[in-house]
Amino acid sequence: MAHYTLRMNGFRAGGRAGWRSPGLRRVAALSAVVFAVASGRLEAETDRLVRSFTLRPDQPIVVDATVAEITIQGWDRSDVTVEIVRTAPSRELLARLPIVFSDDASPALRVGVVQLEDGKDPRLRATLTLSVPRRARLERIRIFEGRLSLSQLSGGIHAVINRGPIRASRLDGSIRLETTIGAIDLNHVSLSPGGLLRLRTFNGSVRLALDERPVNARILALTLNGRITSDIPLERKDQFGPRFAGAILGTGEPLLSIDVVTGDIRIDVGGR
């Protein structure tokens, strides 16, 4: 978000405090902001780009962004559509947030909206919306700060966010989701044979809603500072120190692993 500074010079009139009164200064500052918005002075520079790609069989997808909100949804088509909206305080700063696509011959389909020179300016933001084949393999999604939303995907996902939450619904397959600071919230998730569900956050809670109780699974849940609640009965070891809970159902595969440093773990059955 852009930051703006308003400066006003106080004056005295008729022997009174005038603009030196804190209340009057706040009113004046608010009026100046309203005037600036009405005159368009606070408008940010924004542009929009839409691209479509043909995804080769087994070609993975890689998405990198610095400060961004990313939404990825699966659909029944074989192509990939990408919409990117960039926002910055000025055209010059917008140029520091380049959009990069890989060419058709690259091993992976790459989409990048990364600030130049490893910048982390919160004013330079992007919104990415991707529609991909449901079974597309999202080899890597990496965001420094922002949020990630996923839905209708089953081809494999590996996502890492440094600061921000992850929300997802209707996923199955091999799933690895990690955030350093932020919550992970999954709804209508299935554990599929040969799949994997690994969730990790250092500071935030994890909420997982499974569509149904798995017949076969190995469940491991660990939080160093938090609570574990589960609709699936788990064997617990939480008398001292870290809270650990787990269970082996049927063959013990696939693996469901949840690791939290500070935060709660909740496992529901039946969706939400």
pLDDT for 23 equals 52
Q: Tell me: the pLDDT tens digits for 57-97?
A: 889 999 999 999 999 999 999 999 999 999 999 999 999 99
| Tens-digit pLDDT profile for residues 227-254 | 999 999 999 886 666 889 999 999 999 9
Provide DSSP, the chain.
------------BTTB-GGGSHHHHHHHHHHHHHHHHHHTTTPPEEEEEEEEEEPPTT--EEEEEEEEEEEEEEESSSEEEEEEEEEESSHHHHTTS-EEE--TTSSSEEEEE--GGG---TTSEEEEEEEEETT--EEEEEEEEEEEEEEEE-S-EEEEEEES-EEEEEE-SEEEEEEEES-EEEEEE---TT-EEEEEEEES-EEEEESS--SSEEEEEEEEES-EEESS--EEE-SSSSEEEEEEETT--SEEEEEEEES-EEEEES--
At residue 116, does pLDDT exceed 90? yes
- The reported pLDDT for the residue numbered 20 is 47
Neighbour-count burial for 193-220, b at 16+ CB within 10 Å, e otherwise? eebbbbbbbeebbbbbbbeeebeebbbb
Distances (CA, A) of 79 to 8, 58, 108, 109, 170: 55, 13, 14, 11, 20
This prediction's pTM: 0.81
Lowest mean pLDDT among 37-46, 127-136, 185-194: 37-46
Average pLDDT of the residues in 189-199: 92
pLDDT value at 32 more than 50: no
> Who has greater pLDDT, 32 or 221?
221
Say whether pLDDT at 42 is over 90: no
The answer, yes or no, to whether residue 7 has pLDDT greater than 70, is no
Name, of 26-30, 38-42, 257-261, the range with top average pLDDT. Answer: 257-261
Give the pLDDT mean for 132-146. Answer: 97
241-250 exposure pattern, b = at least 16 Cβ within 10 A, e = fewer: eebbbbbebe
What pLDDT, on the 0 to 100 scale, is given for residue 242? Answer: 84
Total residue length of the chain: 272
Mean pLDDT of 256-270: 95
pLDDT of residue 65: 98
Question: pLDDT confidence of 26, banded at 50, 70, 90?
Answer: very low
Instruction: Look at residue 255 in the predicted model and tell me its pLDDT.
Output: 96
pLDDT value at residue 72: 98
